[in-house]
Amino acid sequence: MPHFGLMDERKLGPVEGSLQRARLHLRGGKRRLREGKISAGIVTLYDAIEGAMQAYAADAERKTHLTIKTGENLNDEKTLFVVLVRSGVLDGRFDFEGFDRLTERALHEDIRVYDYRRLLMEIESLMTQLGVMPFDEALLPPEDPKTF
């Protein structure tokens, strides 16, 4: 994954570590898509979204404003997405279930042709709503060319 060797997520803590992972994976996922590594790019972007949602929910102040029902597991990304929509953090326009299915497909097959432009716009909107974007990519550690 794009963050290996570039950060110590545990050392940064649950908020900053997940946020940094989200940003690194967003950058790496976009690069992989541009390089034609469609399946790898999709999976990397899924992890970026997961990290962004985890960072949001790990923030103690933000968490107090979430509408969490009894028994909901915020460590489950599908549940967390629903909670964030219900709480008004996300507008609900992103088709997370559809993206989850696409990611499952990407995990099991090499997708060679896929017009990802709309998906990237939707993911960038989601990342903006979660407070991950905008950010200065120059402040991120440089990418390791050895990462897939």
Q: Give the mean pLDDT per block of 10 residues along the chain (148 residues).
A: 52 81 94 95 97 96 96 97 98 97 97 96 97 81 66
Judge if pTM exceeds 0.95.
Answer: no
What's the pLDDT score for residue 138? 74
What's the pLDDT score for residue 7? 54
Closest CA to 87 of 109, 110, 106, 62: 62
What's the pLDDT score for residue 11? 67
At residue 18's C-alpha, the angle toward residues 60 and 1, to 5°, is 170
For residue 138, the SS3 value is helix
What's the pLDDT score for residue 146? 64
Helical ranges in the chain per DSSP H: 9-12, 14-34, 38-58, 60-63, 77-86, 96-108, 117-129
Domain ranges of the chain: 9-134
Query: Measured between alpha carbons, how far is 93 from 84 in angstroms, rounded to an integer?
Result: 12
